[in-house]
Amino acid sequence: MTLSPGKKREKIDRLSELAARDDERGVSLWQEAFRRLRGNPAAIVGAVILAIFVLVAVVGPFLVPYAATDTIGIREGLIKPGVIPGPTGEHWFGYDHQGRDEFSRMIVGARQTLLVGVVSTLIGLAIGALIGGVSGAAAGLGGRWGRWVDTTLMRFIDMLLAMPSLLLAVSIAALLGASLTTVMIAVGVVSVPVFARLLRGSMISQANSDYVLAATSLGVKKSKIALTHVVPNSLAPVIVQATLTLATAIIEAAALSFLGLGNPDTAVPEWGVMLADAQQYLGIRPSLAIYPAVAIIITALGFTLLGEAMREALDPKLRK
């Protein structure tokens, strides 16, 4: 294809304009990562799923056609032993075993599910990052004393890791008594060792980098090096792990509910509890188990897609 000189000049102008804009735009690591996330279809799918999930969790309860606790089915005499009516035009997902509108309960349950996922991940992230950060700084920058601190903390983490995660969560939940807070703590504690190990490893490898050597050669104090140089460079994998943990946290919270260690206040629907309740009626109406299960799977998929995409976007080896 040949272009007329005028067109060619126009094209060059446009290109150089684009290049100039690109130059001003290419800023920090995070902005660069965000730019790459937008170009990744998996990230967009994940983000859309999560956006819908969060939207439903926030505004859903105000829009539902029926109250989540309203036992319409029983009132109208539709629920008999061995019979749970299926979906109708008015009740899209049918009724649950107590005659409540399943669709409304799914919508309202999103909020509790999101809350459990986010809060328990934050608990795990906070404790794990604290232990891992101290350990990593001590191992990477400290002397003999630092190694001692690191070893002590890591043996503790190893103890947590040695226990199967669900067993650990069950023990904590059983120890503290069933409540919503307990579920969050139990699920959070389970993810502590992963965050701690990850941040520590990441910090130790960063502590050997040239810019840490350069900062040391300028007399910068170790604590300052740890906080301004090592930690910000080590956070990327931890943040990615957090999005992945959100998905497993929801599933683990559901598992705890399923085992009867969840929130005893059954008036507030939660997908895990709904799944647990549905098991008794699998023979009569299996769809009651399928709705919450599919919802949990899709949400977990959303978090996982976004997390994986973030891992790619933040990987410095893939950065130009």
Partner 1 sequence: MALLEVEDLAVTFARRGQRAVHAVDGVSFSVDAGEVVGLVGESGCGKSVTSLAIMGLLPKQPGLRVGGKAVFDGTDLLQLDDRSRRDIRGRDIAMIFQDPLSSLNPVIPIGLQVTEVLTRHRGMKGEAAAKEAAALLDRVGIPDPKRRLKEYPHQLSGGMRQRALIAMAVACQPRLLIADEPTTALDVTIQAQILELLKELVRDSGTALLMITHDLGVVAGMCDTVNVLYGGRVVETARRRPLFRQPRHPYTVGLLGSVPRLDAGRGEKLNPIPGSVRDLLPWPDGCAFAPRCARRTDECVGEPPELVHAHDGRSYRCVNPEPVPGMVPAPREEESA
Binding mask 244-273 for partner 1 (x = CB under 8 A): ------------------------------
Nearer Cβ to partner 1 (109/146): 146
DSSP SS3 for 82: coil
Task: Pick from 9, 10, 18, 26 the residue near partner 1 by CB under 8 A.
Answer: 26
Task: Pick from 232, 260, 264, 286 the residue near partner 1 by CB under 8 A.
Answer: 232
* Residue numbers 136-175 binding partner 1 by CB under 8 A: 143
Nearer Cβ to partner 1 (144/155): 144
Nearer Cβ to partner 1 (72/230): 230
Q: Which one, of 184, 190, 188, 183, lies nearest residue 167 by Cα?
A: 190
Which residues have CB under 8 Å from 311's CB, separation 6+?
Answer: 237, 240
Nearer Cβ to partner 1 (70/315): 315
Q: Kindly give the residue spans of alpha helices, DSSP state H, lying in 64-179.
A: 72-75, 102-141, 144-162, 165-176
Using rule CB under 8 A, residue 213 touches partner 1: yes
What is the crossing angle of helices 165-176 and 231-258, to 10°?
Answer: 70
Q: Which one, of 200, 206, 163, 166, lies nearest residue 183 by Cα?
A: 166
Nearer Cβ to partner 1 (92/211): 211
Among the listed ranges 78-86, 208-216, 272-280, 285-293, the one in contact with partner 1 (CB under 8 A) is 208-216
Instruction: Please work out, in degrees rounded to the nearest 5, the angle formed at the alpha carbon of residue 247 by the alpha carbons of 239 and 87.
Output: 150
Using rule CB under 8 A, residue 317 touches partner 1: no
Nearer Cβ to partner 1 (30/92): 30
Using rule CB under 8 A, residue 21 touches partner 1: no
Tokens representing 167? 């067993």
DSSP, residue by residue, 92-115: TT-B-TTS-BHHHHHHHHHHHHHH
Using rule CB under 8 A, residue 240 touches partner 1: no
Among the listed ranges 48-56, 129-137, 216-224, 295-303, the one in contact with partner 1 (CB under 8 A) is 216-224
Tokens representing 46? 């994940």
Among the listed ranges 8-16, 22-30, 52-60, 299-307, the one in contact with partner 1 (CB under 8 A) is 22-30
List residues bridging with 95 in a β-sheet: 101
Side chain identity at residue 302, one-letter code: G
**Binding residues for partner 1, total number by CB under 8 A:** 25
Contact 287, 275 (CB under 8 A): no
Using rule CB under 8 A, residue 214 touches partner 1: yes
Tokens representing 124? 């795990």
Residues that bind partner 1 (CB under 8 A): 26-29, 143, 208-211, 213-221, 224, 228-229, 232-233, 316, 319
